[in-house]
Amino acid sequence: VTKEDFQTFDYILCMDESNLRDLKRKSNQIKDCKAKIELLGTYDPQKQLIIEDPYYGSEKDFETVYQQCVRCCKAFLEKDH
């Protein structure tokens, strides 16, 4: 995520609290930050707020994360912003 991303995009969506904390800290250093920084899981209709990194998990874990991301993205895009 670049300095310009914070100034260009309306939203920057992240997966977990660590990402959220890091992005918010970085955004505080950016003049004219217009991006709203949120957890992607905020939009999950199944209310799974955190999207866990499946890297050390099984193939099933990757599928679970994929399905969660699809649900969240669909809900985000359907939301009236």
E strands, the chain, in order:
11-14, 36-39
Tell me whether residue 10 is one of the annotated catalytic residues.
Answer: no
> 14 near 37, Cβ under 8 Å?
yes
Could you say which of 5, 53, 61, 80 is catalytic?
53
Using alpha carbons, list the distances in angstroms from residue 42 to 16, 32, 51, 76, 81: 10, 24, 10, 9, 14
Tell me which residues are annotated as active site.
53
